[in-house]
């Protein structure tokens, strides 16, 4: 079951995966929680969506700063992964840009390809928004849109929508000033113009000229749209990695955004114990197995951990509003690391620490994704600890499930969750050896005894909580085996039909509703144990049939 409680309410992209961890669908949303919840709460889904929901096993997401970024990121991810349930648009064109040419009297228009001539603004994912913006900019600043300047003025001049540079009605200097104003608006500095249009809209509305007021309203919406900074797609010609991190409770949590020619294409996340030179070590290990980009964007370490030492390096650029200093400063980055990265890339790699602008926005977006990726999982653990009244949150949880086919090929699975996430390196599978026929109680007793007697023999740590799939019977047999081993680890069971939680010594289930965060977390763990057990049972049956 998908735990909807951990899904944020921000805009972004959601990524559905099946049991084989393959991406099967990518979507975007203004509100991720509301959109993802709709898949599992609506009953009138179309057949294709019902089939999709049936195969969803897990959901991942990338949070964006606004809905525009989510649209661009969705397009990029779909092109990269081609999920089976997304529409295949093989002939779809790229998003369009607004283009101001590099002529003496520049023209303004729409362009679908990148160019080094003139300036590009966008891309735009909505044709309506793009056309509104283009229209208001052309009309406001009276810019020409004709491909070839004629010798006589056209209709746009006669309706006061063009300054007619073709006739010499405007000087080169005056036209240049109009272009500069248009450039400012297209880069998002549109507040002054939007305010002017609002006043005009109010005046026409008072006169009950509602059609004109509506047109002005659409133009204001278009200008507001410009103010959404499109970090998911920026027009640059080199690849970047944006790396941010959070230090908390002796651990490092790192997020890497991969940006290819200005377009965010994905993320990777890592966590490990804190140590003094963690950043340099991480960069060496990461780029030993990944392609090295031309530019790496890092946060200002002084804003994260003030007591850290800093090293001055030639190729690291601290971007500020004032003049750049001769050398730059970044935490724990040595010249030898710069040389290593440059050798991997084939050219000099730049490391930048932005103070403001698009790159700073991307760093902040990465930090927001760290908070959601790591600490929303931690909140599940803390909530479970509170609802079970445990002295400490159960960071490490192990869950057991039994699977068989009419009493044959009986197997057991054990999955481990650590800090709210599946730790697949510690999954275990068991063939039941001492039980004949259908006897889930005895099977649970055997697998619990085998697992924890071995941990005791090897001197390995025990989990913080043990979960048994089943009711009071399975729980009783598990508790009996743990007592024989002298283990006092808390143990509970989860009965599937009503998702009731049982604890030793109480005949009634705990008063925890199945839609609460604590219960949903247990259901997520139990479902994973169930999946793992069934997969092993199916594998053994197929092997038997083959033999």
Q: Residue with structure tokens 């259908």?
A: 438
Quickly list H helices, 89-232.
Answer: 127-141, 155-158, 172-186, 191-206, 210-226
Contacts of 252-255 with CB under 8 Å at 24 or more apart are: 252/278, 252/282, 253/370, 253/373, 253/374, 254/282, 254/370, 255/366, 255/367, 255/369, 255/370, 255/373
CA 439/CA 24 separation, integer angstroms: 37
- For the chain, residues classed under CATH 3.40.1440.10 are 4-81
Query: For residues 46-82, b (16+ Cβ closer than 10 Å) or e, as one string?
Result: eeeeeebbebbbbbebbbbbbbbbbbbbbbbbbeebe
DSSP characters over 354-366: ESSSHHHHHHHHH
The pLDDT tens digits of the residues spanning 140-190 come to 778 888 888 877 788 787 777 788 888 888 888 888 888 887 887 777 666
CB 313 within 8 A of CB 328: yes
Quickly list H helices, 350-471.
Answer: 358-370, 376-387, 440-458
Tell me how many degrees the CA angle 452-455-457 measures, rounded to the nearest 5. Answer: 110
CA 150/CA 154 separation, integer angstroms: 8
CB 337 within 8 A of CB 284: yes
pLDDT for 289 equals 86
pLDDT for 120 equals 82
C-alpha Rg value of the chain to the nearest Å: 30
CA 312/CA 307 separation, integer angstroms: 16
DSSP letter (8 states) at residue 375: I
CA 178/CA 415 separation, integer angstroms: 65
pTM for the predicted model, two decimal places: 0.51
pLDDT for 88 equals 56
Report the helix count and the strand count for the chain, using DSSP H and E: 15, 21
pLDDT for 413 equals 94
E strand or H helix at 97: strand 96-100
CB 405 within 8 A of CB 541: yes
SS3 state at 477: helix
- Between 3.40.640.10, 3.40.1440.10, 3.40.30.10, 3.30.360.10, what CATH number should domain 4-81 receive? 3.40.1440.10
Q: Residue with structure tokens 């525009």?
A: 68
Parallel, antiparallel, or unpaired: how do β-strands 396-405 and 408-418 relate? antiparallel
CA 468/CA 18 separation, integer angstroms: 24
Per the DSSP assignment, residues forming a β-bridge with 100 are 108, 119
pLDDT along the chain (547 residues), means of 10: 76 91 91 89 80 90 82 80 73 65 88 74 68 80 82 78 82 85 75 79 89 77 59 66 90 89 80 84 89 92 47 45 34 75 90 86 89 82 94 95 82 93 91 87 95 95 96 95 96 91 94 89 91 86 74
The fold of 389-546 is: Nucleotidyltransferase; domain 5 (3.30.420)
pLDDT for 325 equals 30
Class of the CATH domain delimited by 240-371 = alpha beta
Using H for helix, E for strand and C for coil, what is the string for 217-268? HHHHHHHHHHCCCCCCECCCCCCEEEEEEEEECCEEEEEEEEEECCEEEEEE
- For the chain, residues classed under CATH 3.30.420.340 are 389-546
CA 232/CA 106 separation, integer angstroms: 28
pLDDT for 484 equals 95
Evaluate the omega torsion of the peptide bond into residue 123 and state whether it is cis, within 30 degrees of 0: yes
pLDDT for 402 equals 93
| Closest to 243 in 3D by CA, of 320, 330, 324 | 330
CA 393 to chain centre: 26
Sequence-ordered list of residues with C-beta below 8 angstroms from that of 33, at least 6 positions apart, any chain:
4, 7, 8, 9
pLDDT for 87 equals 65
């Amino acid at each position: 079951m998908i735990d909807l409680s951990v899904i944020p309410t921000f805009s972004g992209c959601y990524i559905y995966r099946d049991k084989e961890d393959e991406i099967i669908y990518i979507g975007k949303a203004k509100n991720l929680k509301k959109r993802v919840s709709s898949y599992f709460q609506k009953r009138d889904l179309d057949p294709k969506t019902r089939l999709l929901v049936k195969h969803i096993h897990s959901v991942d997401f990338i949070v964006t700063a606004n809905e525009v970024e989510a649209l661009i990121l969705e397009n990029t991810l779909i092109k990269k992964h081609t999920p089976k349930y997304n529409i295949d648009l093989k002939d779809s064109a790229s998003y369009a840009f607004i283009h101001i040419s590099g002529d003496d009297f520049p023209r303004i228009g729409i362009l679908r390809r990148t160019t080094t001539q003139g300036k590009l603004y966008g891309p735009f994912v909505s044709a309506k928004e793009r056309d509104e913006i283009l229209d208001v900019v052309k009309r406001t600043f009276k810019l020409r849109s004709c491909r070839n300047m004629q010798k006589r003025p056209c209709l746009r001049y006669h309706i006061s929508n063009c300054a007619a540079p073709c006739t010499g009605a405007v000087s080169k200097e005056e036209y240049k000033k109009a272009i500069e104003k248009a450039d400012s608006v297209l880069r998002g500095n549109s507040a002054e113009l939007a305010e002017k249009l609002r006043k005009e809209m109010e005046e026409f509305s008072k006169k009950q000229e509602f059609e004109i007021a509506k047109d002005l309203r659409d133009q204001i919406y278009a200008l507001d749209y410009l103010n959404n900074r499109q970090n998911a797609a920026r027009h640059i010609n080199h690849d970047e990695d944006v790396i941010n991190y959070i230090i908390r409770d002796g651990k490092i949590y790192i997020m890497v955004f991969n940006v290819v020619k200005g377009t965010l294409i994905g993320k990777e996340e890592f966590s490990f114990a804190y140590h003094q030179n963690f950043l340099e070590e991480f960069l060496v290990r990461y780029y030993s197995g990944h392609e090295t980009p031309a530019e790496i964007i890092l946060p200002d370490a002084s804003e994260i951990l003030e007591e850290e030492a800093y090293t001055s390096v030639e190729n690291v650029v601290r971007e500020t509003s004032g003049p750049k200093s001769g050398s730059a400063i970044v935490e724990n980055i040595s010249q030898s690391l710069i040389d290593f990265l440059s050798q991997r890339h084939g050219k000099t790699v730049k490391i930048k620490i932005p103070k403001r602008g698009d790159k700073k926005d991307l760093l902040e977006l990465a930090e927001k994704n760290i908070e959601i990726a790591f600490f929303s999982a931690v909140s599940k653990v803390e909530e479970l600890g509170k609802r079970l009244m445990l002295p400490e949150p159960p960071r490490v949880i192990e869950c057991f499930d039994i699977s068989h086919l009419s009493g044959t090929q009986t197997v057991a699975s054990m999955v481990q969750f650590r800090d709210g996430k599946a730790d697949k390196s510690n999954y275990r599978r068991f063939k039941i050896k001492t039980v004949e026929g259908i006897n889930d109680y005895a099977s649970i007793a055997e697998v619990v005894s085998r697992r924890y007697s071995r941990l005791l023999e090897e001197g390995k740590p025990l989990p913080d909580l043990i979960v048994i799939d089943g009711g009071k019977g399975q729980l009783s047999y598990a508790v009996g085996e743990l007592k024989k081993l002298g283990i006092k680890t808390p143990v509970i069971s989860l009965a599937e039909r009503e998702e009731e939680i049982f604890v030793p010594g109480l005949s009634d289930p705990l008063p925890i509703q199945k839609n609460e965060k604590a219960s949903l977390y247990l259901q997520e763990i139990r479902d994973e144990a169930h999946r793992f057990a069934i997969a092993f049972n199916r594998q053994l049956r197929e092997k038997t049939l083959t033999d």
